[in-house]
Structure 1
Amino acid sequence: MKRRHLLATAALGLSLAFGGAALAQDKTKACFVYVGPIGDLGWSYQHHQGALAVQKEYGDKVEVTWQESVPEGADAERVLTQMALGGCDIIFTTSFGYMDATNAVAKKFPNVKFEHATGFKRESPNVATYNARFYEGRAVQGTIAGLMTKSNKIGYIGSFPIPEVIMGINSYYLHAKKVNPNVELSVVWAMTWFDPAKEADAAKAMIEQGVDVIASHTDSTAPLAEAEKSGGKVIGFGQASDMAEYKPSPRVTSIIDNWAPYYVKRVGQVLDGTWDQTDTWAGIKEGEVEIGEITDAVPAEVKAAAEKVRDDIAAGTYHPFTGPINKQDGSPWLAEGQTAPDGDLLGMNFYVEGIKGDIPK
């Protein structure tokens, strides 16, 4: 009896540790792992909005729990193991660096469903992957950047040199260059997803070099806060969530990751027994990538140009990677009118022609 009591106590404590109260075991338990704090107002915040949407949709049928600020690597594998042991029926792992941990733990718990955001490995039938076509939003931002820069110097803060980030940099630059042939791009690699101090330092360094439009693929509002200090001389964009507190400037628009419909759908499939292994990559057309309000700080003609890019992508009449496009070394990549295959984008490890500097190894 004492052993059973101890096990029950441990299970209760485990459930409480993941952000939700222990509920009846016959409820479906949906669990989320975040790489940053849900208060980052960016990437993890937006995933958490999706988790809350699940709770709202299904009410008492589902218990939603989460753990935030979980480092990628061994810590992630430990947390995922604890979640699986704690009764999670489906676990969403919401950062690229969780990929190997997700697949390793999934093999040990074949009855638990695992969903990995932005990854490509599905080594067990209980692992699915999902992603968003962020590069589509970068095309809209690049159009604004190219038309609004006064110095012809635009910047991009990269997190890690993975295809998701590289294709965003390339899309941003290509569309700025398309409307402004004189534009130059500076890329600073922060080598972190969430570190406000490093992100602020990267933005500050760019501004000191004359950059007056900054995009970022990191998770905090720090780059916008740094841009705000310029007194209107530097603009930027919300990343992952709207970051509306910086409207109407320096935040002139944003890429909003709308994960809620996907999470509601997939948890619903666990409830009705139809969940299966999938690989999903949705974008503006599907509503997973949203373009936040373009503020009045953007001239009407620039807003119109950006909205046309957005609307043409949504309609399927325009692909952000449409040739002719060469690689950085001048070698041909896409011929006139050719569009990039998804395989090329998902494995992208090169800059396009015109971007200076090297991609970190």
Structure 2
Amino acid sequence: MSLPRIAIDAMGGDEGVRVMVSGAALARRRHEQFKFLLVGDEARIKAALDNHPNMRGASEILHCDDVVAGDEKPTAALRRAKTTSMGLAIAAVKSGDCGAAVSGGNTGALMAMSKLALRTMPGIDRPALAGLMPTLGDDDVVMLDLGANTECDARNLVQFAVMGAAYSRIVTGKSAPSVRLLNIGTEEIKGTDRLQEAAAMLRAASGLSLDFQGFIEADKINRGLVDVVVTDGFSGNIALKAIEGSARFVTDLLKTAFRSSIRSKFGFLVSRPATELLRHHLDPNNHNGGVFLGLNGVVVKSHGSANVNGVANAVNVTARLLEESLTERILADLAELGEARLRDNGSTAK
């Protein structure tokens, strides 16, 4: 069975066409079976393809010179969905011409367009933005929501847990990934009413392909203790930026320390293999690719500042989600969640 194409918003991101096309070309070395729809300025895309022979026969160009600005309000961008590279990439997923879309453009506009065009799948009230973050363990941790929904109720958090676990199963290969809710403490009595209610719902739900383990505090997110961390978009976005800021702080602090004296510079040369490993592990480009979960189609958000390797990682994530049928997995899990609720309601009635 042939795999669906991936639509690339070639105009999205800080550097636009060159980085987006080069990143897709790099990703195709690992996923040679995929083909692409490159949406954007045709002349610039053709010029970029001249440097990547492996993409020429695998790519179709859809010309578009209208771009969503990075600071454009989502409501304004929505009015231009039919004329912008971002909107046309999403429309290709809606029509079935492509199986997924990748963009490095305006996050708010991408979410608004995706939600309006693709709609949420049955059983999902709100889509969530999920991302992968490095840990001290063998696997990255899936965290959601990272900013799509600033306010969430308990039902939303339970749905996020189901979707995050489906994503984690693809990433880790585990049949029942561990899931925890982000909280101010791990004790069962801690947290808001909605967190308490969500925890109770997850503990009561049987038959789900996840292992709910209660709460986790923010300082433990990257310790490798859990596969999926669930929270609302407001707290998730703050936690994400705090973690990314801490990573930059550590790397900048190391640079300053190693430049402070001749002895420190010599120490840097001796420890360079270790510092390079640290730099690679903390580089956000190596974990690039946020996924809008809960839509009737796959949409992946690349960092606007991502380099070629970062875009390649976002496209690699997209390809893997299509290969592993993420949407179908989530639908199956939601069906199981619905059956679990019916069983629980039946038990309560008795």
TM-score by length of structure 1 reads 0.29
Q: Higher strand proportion, which one?
A: 1
TM-score by length of structure 2 reads 0.30
- Bigger RCO (CA 8 Å, 6+ sep): 2
